[in-house]
Amino acid sequence: MTRVWKWNRPVTVREVLEDLQQERSIAYTTVMTVLDNLHQKGWVRREAEGRAYRYEAVSTRAAYAAALMNDAWSQSDNPAAALVAFFGMMSPSQREALSDAVRMVEGDTVRREDEADRKAEAAERGPGGGEGPENPGGPGPGPER
């Protein structure tokens, strides 16, 4: 998966093989088998191109790591204690990244709540926004052209 994520585009077995061979000797059939296994597990999708396939990651490396962390956390009999232990293992820069991520998620939640409020207000006003002849002072149909 590391090689597929590294390329960040659909890749062939040959491309992955040549990349790996810069570090060690490996057989074409080994790379082909691993990519086929990743496809069978649903981690990559593939599209035929001539007699070969191009393989592409189904999710990002970050999404994969998040899923692993979520899976490990959900298996804990005490999730709060598991989080405290996990945070205790983090470096200061990792804790800072965590704080940034929490702020981003909280900001996204606020934006979604604001959008939901605006939609609810628009629905209460009814079709056309409820502004016009029944609502003096509100914008009317606009200037004639």
Residue position matching structure tokens 């009999």:
77
Whether the full predicted model's pTM is greater than 0.85, yes or no, is no
* Sign of the alpha-carbon torsion through 22, 25, 27, 31: negative
pLDDT digits (tens, 9 = 90+) for 76-130: 999 899 989 989 999 999 999 999 988 888 887 666 667 777 777 777 776 655 4
Query: What is the reported pLDDT for 109?
Result: 67
**Residue closest to 135 by CA, chosen among 120, 119, 124:** 124
Assigned domain for 81 exists: no
> 1-51, pLDDT tens digit by residue?
999 999 999 999 999 999 999 999 999 999 999 999 999 999 999 999 999
Give a yes or no: residue 2 inside a domain: yes
Q: Which residue has the higher pLDDT, 54 or 115?
A: 54
CATH number at residue 20: 1.10.10.10
In a domain, 69, yes or no: no
* Residues belonging to the chain: 145
In a domain? residue 73: no
66 vs 141: which has the higher pLDDT: 66
Q: Which two tokens stand for residue 84?
A: 């405290």
* Residues 7 and 53 occupy one common structural domain: yes
Q: How many domains does the chain have?
A: 2
Whether 56 contacts 46, CB under 8 Å? yes
Give the whole-angstrom CA distance, residue 32 versus residue 121: 56
In a domain, 132, yes or no: no
Segments forming the whole domain that contains residue 45: 1-57
- C-alpha closest to that of 42 among 1, 11, 3, 73: 1
53 within a domain of the structure (yes/no)? yes
Tell me, yes or no, whether 53 and 94 share the same domain: no
